[in-house]
Amino acid sequence: MATPSETAAMRRAVELAARGAGTARPNPVVGAVVLDSAGASVGEGWHERAGAAHAEVAALAAAGQRARGGTLVVTLEPCDHTGRTGPCTKAIIDAGVRRVVHAVDDPTETAAGGASTLGAAGIEVEAGLLREEAEEVNVRWLTAVRRRRPWVVWKVASTLDGRVAAPDGTSRWISGPLSRADTHRLRAACDTIIAGSGTVRSDDPALTVRDSAGRLVGDQPLRVVVDTHGRTPADARVRDEAAPTWIATAAQLGKDVEGRVDLPALTRALFERGARVALLEGGPRLAGGFLRAGLVDEVVAYLAPTLLGAGPAALEGTGITTLAGALPLDVRDVRLVGPDVRVTARLAATEGRP
């Protein structure tokens, strides 16, 4: 049984893990706290970015000799492999820790097995403390690894009546400048941006992460154009040097029953390339295909305070014919972004399903 100080330490470790959100990808967010033998916190750590110290190693370094005979509390089972950094199990054993409490088992084939290695070294191991909180803070990565496809966020900007363009085809700047800046924040938290070739042809988007002055910032996500027949124009902006781009065609990935790019094959291929969080941006038919295939985890909708009453809808081709088939959403956040309403929701149907 975990002690009250271990429970408090795990709550803190979850907070520390959250600091890695947006930077740790493609790695998980992980937080760790070291308690000395009296139960006092003597070191904290979190995983900041791939290649940097794992949370456990950072916390043990902060604790130094005070870790000896103490307890390591960590949100994810310590890794047992040498990847970009050495195995945490070794660091834990070398530090002389007596007990390890972790919240969530490592779901990867490569890094799992840490708990049994620690047990074999005579360290007491307890799993499952505050599992729900630790699952939630790392939900994107855990879901991606368990399903072997990236966590997919569908981003959409529409009028209040759900139109993404007017009947004459005009569609740029439905949402306001603050929503557009917010979209760059969303993009920065993803490793992949996906758009359909129709959107690329009509809007010629750059699909890069830029600051308010239009300068490129940070590591650019992979741009993916879903382009069944490979018709993305040679001079499309997505083909420039600003970021890597993959024009994903049916010739590479196969076709679904409607003759379009096989989307489960696409997301599997993206996962193999290291994608863990993808932002799906337009158009309505591609979003419909993703939803139909059960490949969307989260929706971020910017609703502009305007009405059109005509023009294409935000979503098409979901295959839904009756109200009972409507996809239920679990709304997590609603706020004003300038004049627009931003709704963030999870697909209720996929939630918690491994």
Site for ligand AOF, rule CB under 6 A: 27-28, 30, 47, 50, 54-56, 76, 79, 83-85, 88, 106, 108, 111
Q: Which two tokens stand for residue 173?
A: 């700047």
Which residue type occupies 236? A
| Residue 54 is a binding residue for Zn ion (CB under 5 A) | yes
At its nearest, how many Å lie between Zn ion and the CB of residue 115?
Answer: 13
Options 75-83, 155-163, 177-185, 273-281: segment touching Zn ion (CB under 5 A) = 75-83
In the shown chain, the binding pattern of residues 123 to 162 toward Zn ion, with x for contact by CB under 5 A and - for none, equals ----------------------------------------
Q: What mask of x and - would describe binding to Zn ion in positions 84 to 103, judged by CB under 5 A?
A: ----x---------------
Nearer to ligand AOF, 83 or 338 (CB): 83
Side chain identity at 102, as an amino acid letter?
H
CB of 53 to ligand AOF, least distance (A): 7
Q: Residue 226: which of 293, 297, 181 has the closest Cα? A: 293
Number of residues that bind Zn ion (CB under 5 A): 3
Write down the least CB distance from residue 131 to ligand AOF, Å: 16
34, 180, 243, 293 from 301: Cα distances, Å: 41, 12, 25, 20
Q: Would you say 77 and 127 are in contact if contact means Cβ atoms under 8 Å apart?
A: yes
Residue 55: contacted member of ligand AOF, Zn ion, none (CB under 5 to 8 Å, by partner type): ligand AOF
Which tokens is 196 given? 């359909």
Residue 139 contacts residue 19 (beta carbons within 8 Å): no
Q: Which of 14, 74, 76, 79 binds Zn ion (CB under 5 A)?
A: 79
Q: Compute the least distance from the CB of residue 13 to ligand AOF, in Å.
A: 11
Q: Which does 106 bind (CB under 5 to 8 A by kind): ligand AOF, Zn ion, none?
A: ligand AOF
Q: Minimum Å distance from CB 15 to ligand AOF? A: 15
Q: How far is the CB of 345 from ligand AOF (least distance, A)?
A: 28
30 binds Zn ion (CB under 5 A): no
Applying CB under 5 A, the span of 51-59, 127-135, 154-162, 321-329 interacting with Zn ion comes to 51-59
Buried b (16+ CB within 10 A) or exposed e, 330-352: eeeeeeebbebbbbbbbbeebee
Can 298 be counted among the known catalytic residues? Answer: no
Contact predicate 228/249, CB 8 Å: yes
Residue 306 interacting partner from ligand AOF, Zn ion, none (CB closer than 5 to 8 Å by kind): none
Q: Which is nearer to ligand AOF, 29 or 301 (CB)?
A: 29
- Given the complex with ligand AOF, which of 60 and 279 has the nearer CB atom? 60
Of 56, 77, 133, 281, catalytic: 56
> 3-state DSSP call for residue 36?
coil
Whole-number Å distance between alpha carbons of 73 and 77 = 10
How many whole angstroms separate alpha carbon 9 and alpha carbon 87? 22
The interface partner of residue 30, options being ligand AOF, Zn ion, none and the CB cut-off 5 to 8 Å by kind, is: ligand AOF
Asked whether 333 and 186 are in contact (CB, 8 A), the reply is no
Number of neighbouring beta carbons within 10 Å of residue 54: 27
Shorter beta-carbon distance to ligand AOF: residue 125 or 303: 125
**CB under 8 Å, gap of 24 or more: what pairs does 139-145 form?**
140/276, 140/277, 140/297, 141/24, 141/25, 141/26, 141/27, 141/28, 141/29, 141/276, 141/277, 142/28, 142/104, 142/107, 143/297, 144/271, 144/275, 144/276, 144/277, 145/107, 145/108, 145/276
Please report, as ranges, the residues that interact with Zn ion according to CB under 5 A: 54, 79, 88
As annotated, the active-site residues are 56
